[in-house]
Each structure stands twice: as structure tokens, then as C-alpha cells.
Structure 1
């Protein structure tokens, strides 16, 4: 999961740099923030959900593993919610369309990478 978050951050950083140097700094900032709002909570989930490592395997550890997943997903949801609220409250000027498109594209990148890793 951390690899996926790193790939997402690299992609939005490159897109943000291209947009910034092409004279669209507000759109660039919005794209980077949108990507970060997707990637950082995903990284938190990855750390939290898989914190037990190899010692959390087997039937005895099933309850702990499930509990870690629930805590990770709850934290991811709250980080995303608070992140969007903070961005809309504090970041001016902001391009909401670029923010949401970037967020959505990062979610799609996550789905594609997870599907490739599962194979």
C-alpha cells in the first residue's frame, strides 16, 4: 500500500510541476493537493491495516487483523474528510474542479495498481 501511495504522489507531483511551469499555478496547487488528499490517507491505511506483519497470521490472529483493517479504514475516512474540509477552509485561491479530478484520478490509479499487485 505504501508503494501505491508513493506512485500516486510522484504522479501528482509531476503533473503539478508541468502545470506550474506552463503558467497555471493555481491549477497545479489544486492537482497536488487533490492527489495528496487521496494518497496520504491511503498510506495511513496501509500502515495501520498491515501493522502486524507476518506475526499476525492464522486463525488466532484473525480478530486482530480485522480490527486493524477497520481502524485503518476509519482513520482513512476521517483523514480524507478533515483534509477536504481544511483545504476548502484554508486554501485560497483553489480550483475545485482540478482538485476533484486529481483526487478521482488517484483513486483510479490506486484501483489499477491494486489489481496488478493482486494478480
Structure 2
């Protein structure tokens, strides 16, 4: 796996653990668990994107690169939908705000990675 991909996924996991602990300490069990679940949805979706997009051998062909990225994004979207659907169908006590905070925080790491590149 590319070093930058590993960096992103590891930072996402670390941030989720920190946020889940903070939510648990401040708001209780459900907030901590919901934050952890939301972050996990984001991490699994991002990992699915990486595995799908990087599976295709694109070389220097921009059309193949575009198709690989599109396939990865589509797979990421599907995994995200499935993750949230499962949570809302099976976990009736979910704390919605912490769930989306956990998920949204995984997106922030992409911006940090872009800033890190500069």
C-alpha cells in the first residue's frame, strides 16, 4: 500500500479513537460508541476506495486513471450507504450527531494530507 494511503488511514483511525474517547467521557457510552461506528464507516469506505481504485493497472493512460478513480468512488459511496443503512436498521439507540461527527472527521484527514503535501 502506498505510504500516503497508509498515513491517511492510520490518522483517520487515531482521530476516531480520540474523538470516541472524548465523546464517551463527555456524553456517555452511546456517544462514544456512535462516534466509533461513524468513523469506522468512513475508514471502511476509504479502504474500499483504495482497494478498488488501485486494483486497476492504469499506467500513464488518463482514461484508465479516471475510470479507476470513478470505480473507487462508486464503491466508496456504496460502502458508505450500506454502513449507514445497517446502523439505522440494526442500532436503534445510535446517537446521530456523534455518528456523523465520527464519519465527518474521517474526511478532515484528507485535507490535512493535502496540506502535508505542500
TM normalised by structure 2 equals: 0.80
1:50 is the counterpart of 2:54: yes
Q: Map 1:1-119 onto structure 2 (within 5 A).
A: 1-20=5-24, 24-52=28-56, 56-58=58-60, 61-117=61-117, 119=118
Q: Distance in 1 between matches of 2:66 and 2:58?
A: 10
The number of residue pairs the alignment matches comes to: 114
Unaligned stretches of 5+ residues in structure 1:
none
Q: Normalised by the size of structure 1, how large is the TM-score? A: 0.80
Asked if 1 retains the 8 angstrom alpha-carbon contact of 2:58 and 2:68, the reply is: no
Distance 2:15 2:90 in 1: 24
**Partners of 1:6 and 1:39 within 8 A in 2:** no
Query: Unpaired runs of 5+ in structure 2?
Result: none
- Within 2, Cα distance between the matches of 1:23 and 1:99? 13
CA RMSD of aligned residues (A): 2.1
Bigger radius of gyration, 1 or 2? 1
Q: Deviations over 1:42-64 (max 9, x none)?
A: 12112222234xx6332xx3332
The offset of 1:90, in angstroms, is 0.7
